[in-house]
Amino acid sequence: LMKKQELLRDREAALWEMEEHQLQERHQLVKQQLKDQYFLQRHELLRKHEKEREQMQRYNQRMTEQLKVRQQQEKARLPKIQRSEGKTRMAMYKKSLHINGGGSAAEQREKIKQFSQQEEKRQKSERLQQQQKHENQMRDMLAQCESNMSELQQLQNEKCHLLVEHETQKLKALDESHNQNLKEWRDKLRPRKKMESRTAAQVGVQWRNLNSGSGRGSEPEEAGAGDVLQAE
């Protein structure tokens, strides 16, 4: 009987160990599936971000190229505009000299020469102003392109951070749920263990009672045999 009870106790212990192992194994499986799911999401998110950066780079490059074209067109137009304006201004100046009677022919030539030099300086100043304007425009454009990329990178970093944070929360909730299930399983296991211990104790008592009962029963038999010998 004791041997049978010991076998039953070993069987129960093995069963409990197997149940706990199954709980742990199931938890690890679900946890790994969740990790794999978020790994794929991160991979897809990174691919999406790479495409977004490429699109932003193309957009920035297109805006920069368009600005370069506009500046080249403005730079090419300026000399033509200056020549046309220069001729008009010179004609008006000569006409003014003629109307106002600006001195002798030599004096007029000198005045025209000075006016022409001033006109060259004015045109050179216009070209320098245009060059400075173009440099400022390009600098602002490059700064805007860099800002566009920086804002995109910041937004992408926030999305990655949110995904990692969400994964962490999910894993934490999964662990907490597993720990709660394990606690409930162990709480239910305690009565089974108590019952098993109580049964083992009862079997032990029965075993001792049987042994003690067998011992008391053998003594009268021996006494009876002695009486028979004495009688003989």
Checking if the pLDDT of 49 tops 90, the result is: yes
Q: Residue 2 — pLDDT band, cuts 50, 70, 90?
A: low
Full residue range of the structural domain in which residue 141 is found: 2-231
Q: Residue 182 — pLDDT band, cuts 50, 70, 90?
A: confident
pLDDT at 130: 97
pLDDT at 206: 56
| Local structure of residue 102 (DSSP, 8 states) | -
For tokens 């009672």, the residue is 209
How many CA atoms, within 13 angstroms, populate the side-chain half-sphere of residue 168? 6
pLDDT for 188-230, tens place per residue?
877 665 655 555 545 555 555 555 655 444 444 444 333 433 3
For tokens 């894993």, the residue is 171
The pTM is what?
A: 0.65
Residue scoring higher pLDDT (197 or 170)? 170
Q: CA–CA distance from 65 to each of 53, 54, 58, 213 (Å)?
A: 18, 16, 10, 109
Q: What span, in angstroms and rounded, lies between the C-alpha atoms of 191 and 194?
A: 5
CA 73 to chain centre: 45
Q: What is the mean pLDDT of the chain?
A: 83
Checking if the pLDDT of 30 tops 70, the result is: yes
pLDDT for 3-20, tens place per residue?
665 666 667 777 878 888
Checking if the pLDDT of 178 tops 80, the result is: yes
Listed in sequence order, the DSSP H helices in the chain are: 2-100, 105-231
42: tokens are 């991160």
pLDDT at 226: 39
Q: Residue 143 — pLDDT band, cuts 50, 70, 90?
A: very high
pLDDT at 209: 56
Lowest-confidence pick of 35-39, 81-85, 169-173, 192-196? 192-196
How many domains does the chain contain in total? Answer: 1
Q: 210: left (phi > 0), else alpha (psi -120 to 50), else beta?
A: alpha
pLDDT for 54-98, tens place per residue?
999 999 999 999 999 999 999 999 999 999 999 999 999 988 888
Give the number of other Cβ atoms within 10 Å of residue 158's Cβ: 10
Nearest to 57 by CA among 138, 140, 152, 128: 152
Checking if the pLDDT of 32 tops 90, the result is: yes
pLDDT at 192: 62
What is residue 103's three-state secondary structure?
Answer: coil
pLDDT at 231: 36
